Structure 1
Amino acid sequence: MSAQPINVDDEDSGTGRRLPFRQSLLAIIGLCFVTILVGLDQSIVSTAMPTIAAELNSFDLYAWVGTSYLLASVITVPIFGRLGDFYGRKPFVIASIIIFTTASILSGMADSMMYLILSRALQGIGGGMLVGTAFACIPDLFPVAAVRLKWQVFLSSSFGIASVIGPSLGGFLTEYYGWRSIFFVNVPISLLGLWFVWQYLPLIRYEHKQTIRLDWIGAVLITLALGSLQLFVEMLGRHGMGWEVAMLGLVFVLFTVILIKWESYCPYALIPLELFRVKSLNVLFLLSLLLGFTLFSLLFYIPLFLQGGFGLSPNEAGILITPLVVCVTVGSIISGRVVTRLSRPNHILYVGFILVLICVLGTIFSNRGGSSYVFMAYMVLGGVGLGMIMPNLTIFSQEVAGKSNLGIATALVQSIRMIGGMLGIAIVGSLINYLYATGMTRQLSGNIPNDSFPDLYDPQLLVNPPQQLALQEQARQMGMGDIQSWIDIGRETLTVSIHSGFWIVFALTLLAAVWVYRLPLIDLKGKKTVRKKEGK
């Protein structure tokens, strides 16, 4: 175990591992448990979300459970990415595990949707710290890209293992033990990760000449800008463009302008804007944004698509979603073996985005009564594609940014992906809610008494069997007969609404596939980064 901090010169690129093989392996195992926490949380919660929203009777806040986590993560990722650059990453990895675990327990104890949203926001703080520091430990331990890519497979595989377990485990636990149990499974994993990180992860510090200061004003401005954007998207989808919604849009623009101005002149900016002037990083950041939009839209709304639209149980839905997340590992392994051998590593991104496009398009054309095996095949292609994209966006950005900005560049790629995810969940969710409400109004107008069955206009009815039984009893007492045909209409309407939302996902994924063309050549074989080759 490395008890003393390892101080490394800021410009030193290293020649390989600085640690004995055994310590490197055990440190990586600790980071793998951390990765499992992040991967498990993404997949297990999304599968349980329809049931959670139905039980807590707050389907209108469905998207906020995801966006509160992502918003908190977006803010904390760059903060702790920068702090990790200055002070070393180990203390923040340890703190993040403790916060994440505490928030998981609080989420499992939630008795209202607002309580759950606040707990998820705290969990997002821990998750942001994890992403901002743990993932940047890999280039600390293995400075050479070729060596790093081989060890990166461990993290990709652990993420894949969590993703394999997540949907099925989430569906199984939700159906048989209640949705609260999905948050408590984090506890033993956290304890294992904490022990390995505490014992074996070295504290590596890069020596910086500048004074260590943190841009708290920038952090507040990021919070205000993204928070107002989130509210704007939510309110626009729910109420249309009124003057209150327009004001929220203007508030977002105002805070964004102030943020850019502040970061331009702040000598210790939280977001170094000079990184956005590097063409390679600029392209990678946009690709990360678009990938986040696609990834989180799929993870968050395919469970609703299967449970609400197709009428499947949480367990059945989890089984169908599993190939999407399990094959992220397959794609990562394939990518790790192939990308360093390619004369143009950029081509791996083309393949990845094309596979994801096929997945999204296949989901759009899937309907009730279709083959489960065909649907799972689409999920396989999507998972492989995501596995080819996600690790390479991180590796490419690390190569371009150089040692002095390694942590913040890694953090920016992750946080920008979360911003994309936040936008995807909010925009697609708002569109689905709007289309479902208007579609049901059109379908049922004149067929049932006005305002007699308001539950029919709320999608949570479709994933809440007790509520369906109560509605059936209400209809029987009113002499209306069987309501199954109304529920079938609701399922069809929800399916069409989600299809429409996924067309937006398809369009932005197509844009990303085209945008890869603008990425300059990334050289993973040489010791010089592309940034140096570009003269930056």
Structure 2
Amino acid sequence: MAVHTAAHHSSGQVLPFRESLMAMLGISFVTMLVALDQTVVGTALPTIVAELKGFDLYAWVATSYLLTSVITVPIFGRLGDYYGRKPFVIASIVVFTVASVLCGLANSMMFLVLARGLQGIGGGMLVGTAFACIADLFPDNVVRLRWQVMMSSAFGIANAVGPSLGGFLTQYYGWRSVFYVNLPVGIVSLYFVWRFLPHLRHVAHEGKMRLDWPGAALIAVALGALQLFVEMLPKHGFGAETAALLAMSVAAAFALWKWEMRCDYAILPVDMFRNQALAALFTLAILGGFTMFSMLFYAPLLFQGGFGMSPKDAGVMITPLVVFITIGSIVNGRIVTRLKNANLMLYVGFALLAVSCLGIVVATHNMPRSLLLVIMLLGGLGLGFVMPNLTVFAQQTAGRAHLGIATALLQSLRMIGGMIGTALTGTLIAHLYASGVNLALENDHAMHWAADLSDPQILINREGQQALLAQLSAAGHNGAMLLESAREALVAAIHIGLALAAVVAVLSVWQSRRVPPVRLKGPQEPVILAE
């Protein structure tokens, strides 16, 4: 394979406008493929479990995907730096699409869990390589931010229509169609990427390359054990099993650090973590993931379980959050390139996120819907200011040789922050909710029904509520009062949980000062074309 320096079409982009547009369409379809899957599957899960009869594996449908994807993101991010990203983007589309078909063909929960694990490998490869492709195509940061709007728009559209599409497909065509919908999107993605995405890389090689398999294995153990720890903590508490998983993750991470320091062909360049700017950006990715996923997970539960909204109304409340991530990204692209200090957008973004979290903390059932919508809008706008800037700042700071691994690490650390956030917030909410419910039941001498009210989902399940109310009334208890007490306990628990997320957002504002001023305009390094 011949390797030579590619002549840029202009100082800001590698390809002419039409070819750049076609390549970006391919990357946008890839983004939509992953985002659609993440949003439509959740809607279909209750129906899937009802048909395949495997409630004990319910959580593993999501966990198996997250487990394999969080492991593969940094590995393929680094491999993309070495070999170029196009082969891995193509392979990931094929793996993801084939795995989606296998999910649709599943005849048991175990088969579905295994197929979702395979799908996660494809999803991790996509995230680890596709996000860095934009920096390949547009070396100039100002130009890149403008083109990145296409990817943000694809992500926003998928997030906005995903839940409704999942419900529609499940209701009219069955739950298997939720997975089959990835097939046409995957085929279109494959065409555009194969046809229009150039094969670029940034590291010229002499002789045969060696792969850091021990490093990859240690990454898998460290992140895999952490994911399992986070998954088990809210359900089982901090016991022997969860402590063992945490210890395994810490030990593997320490071994990984030691190994990568002495490895000549390290998959994870440790010098990146010694870079003050990158270390600060990586920390912000973790903190941002903590706040973002806490909001995305528990705001819908607050609206439905705590405030008694229907799923449709709760969906309307959440829509500004996901839609304004895209709008915020578009506005950010217009503003950040005109500021003398681009870092200002990080302060503004995290401040808006903190205000949104605090708004949810003080929200009540009687708060006007319009005000709730504004609160969610501010959160989406804040995330739209933060996420693209963290990516572009990290890419600019890392340099082209480490562009892929820097982008992949940012995505992985955001996911890890989200895992930690949902685990800690979830554990706190579960504990506070259980305490509040048990207190109400004790006062009414109705502890017999503690198991029925222990899961907040009863506050969403209208049929389950009617059956429980009938049982409580037959036993001489005021069922409506007990359900209202459970709602109040859930609202108070989520308020405290999201207060923690707000504190993390405020900490992120303070942490942003550690990021040295980033110059978005500067000399561009040569890109290497491999064809």
TM-score by length of 1: 0.88
- SS of the aligned residue for 2:14 comes to coil
- SS of the aligned residue for 2:201 comes to strand
Q: Which moved more, 1:204-213 or 1:122-131?
A: 204-213
Q: Alpha carbon RMSD of aligned pairs, Å? A: 3.2
Q: Please state how far the C-alpha of 1:398 moved relative to its aligned partner.
A: 0.9
Out of 155, 161, 166, the position equivalent to 1:165 is 161
Residue identity in the other structure for 2:272: L
Q: Distance in 2 between matches of 1:136 and 1:175?
A: 37
Q: Distance in 1 between matches of 2:136 and 2:353?
A: 31
How do 1:414-433 and structure 2 match up within 5 A? Answer: 414-433=411-430
- Show CA shifts across 1:230-254 (max 9, x none): 3444544444444444444333332
Residue identity in the other structure for 2:11: T
Q: Distance in 2 between matches of 1:492 and 1:53?
A: 29
Q: Tell me the number of residue pairs that the alignment of Structure 1 and Structure 2 aligns.
A: 524
Out of 174, 188, 194, the position equivalent to 1:192 is 188
Change (3 A) 1:35 1:242: closer
- Show CA shifts across 1:377-422 (max 9, x none): 1111111111111111111111111111111111111111111112
Q: Which moved more, 1:61-70 or 1:243-252?
A: 61-70
Which residue number in structure 2 is paired with residue 32 of structure 1? 28
Which residue number in structure 1 is paired with residue 123 of structure 2? 127
Q: Distance in 2 between matches of 1:38 and 1:486?
A: 41
Q: Please state how far the C-alpha of 1:117 moved relative to its aligned partner.
A: 5.0
Is 1:301 aligned to residue 298 of structure 2? yes
Is 1:317 aligned to residue 344 of structure 2? no
Kept in 1, the 8 Å contact 2:287–2:504? The answer is yes
- SS of the aligned residue for 2:13 comes to coil
Which residue number in structure 1 is paired with residue 75 of structure 2? 79
Which residue number in structure 2 is paired with residue 440 of structure 1? 437
Change (3 A) 1:425 1:205: same
Change (3 A) 1:510 1:435: same
Is 1:288 aligned to residue 285 of structure 2? yes
- Show CA shifts across 1:442-481 (max 9, x none): 21115244435622212222222333344345446x4446
Out of 199, 205, 219, the position equivalent to 2:201 is 205
Q: Distance in 2 between matches of 1:311 and 1:51?
A: 22
- SS of the aligned residue for 1:343 comes to coil
Kept in 1, the 8 Å contact 2:27–2:151? The answer is yes
Kept in 1, the 8 Å contact 2:139–2:524? The answer is no
Residue identity in the other structure for 1:500: I
Kept in 1, the 8 Å contact 2:9–2:16? The answer is no
Kept in 1, the 8 Å contact 2:261–2:270? The answer is yes
Identical-residue share of aligned pairs (%): 54
Kept in 1, the 8 Å contact 2:233–2:423? The answer is no
Kept in 2, the 8 Å contact 1:26–1:200? The answer is yes
Which residue number in structure 1 is paired with residue 512 of structure 2? 516
Change (3 A) 1:121 1:507: farther
TM-score by length of 2: 0.89
Q: Which moved more, 1:375-384 or 1:92-101?
A: 92-101
- SS of the aligned residue for 1:370 comes to coil
Residue identity in the other structure for 2:216: A
Q: Please state how far the C-alpha of 1:225 moved relative to its aligned partner.
A: 2.0
Kept in 2, the 8 Å contact 1:97–1:130? The answer is yes
Q: Distance in 2 between matches of 1:380 and 1:183?
A: 30
Is 1:332 aligned to residue 329 of structure 2? yes
Which residue number in structure 1 is paired with residue 499 of structure 2? 503
Q: Please state how far the C-alpha of 1:36 moved relative to its aligned partner.
A: 1.6
Q: Which runs of 5+ in 1 are unaligned?
A: 530-536
Change (3 A) 1:283 1:456: same
Which residue number in structure 2 is paired with residue 220 of structure 1? 217
Q: Which runs of 5+ in 2 are unaligned?
A: 526-531
Change (3 A) 1:244 1:419: closer
Q: Which moved more, 1:427-436 or 1:162-171?
A: 162-171
Which residue number in structure 1 is paired with residue 247 of structure 2? 250
Q: Distance in 1 between matches of 2:256 and 2:369?
A: 48
- Show CA shifts across 1:353-396 (max 9, x none): 11111111111112223222111111111111111111111111
Change (3 A) 1:426 1:114: farther
Which residue number in structure 1 is paired with residue 529 of structure 2? none
Q: Please state how far the C-alpha of 1:41 moved relative to its aligned partner.
A: 3.7
Which residue number in structure 2 is paired with residue 19 of structure 1? 15
Q: Distance in 2 between matches of 1:257 and 1:279?
A: 20
Which residue number in structure 1 is paired with residue 479 of structure 2? 483
Kept in 1, the 8 Å contact 2:441–2:447? The answer is no
Residue identity in the other structure for 2:308: G
Which residue number in structure 1 is paired with residue 142 of structure 2? 146
- Show CA shifts across 1:195-222 (max 9, x none): 2112221222344236423222222222
Which residue number in structure 2 is paired with residue 451 of structure 1? 448
Change (3 A) 1:361 1:179: farther
Which residue number in structure 2 is paired with residue 260 of structure 1? 257
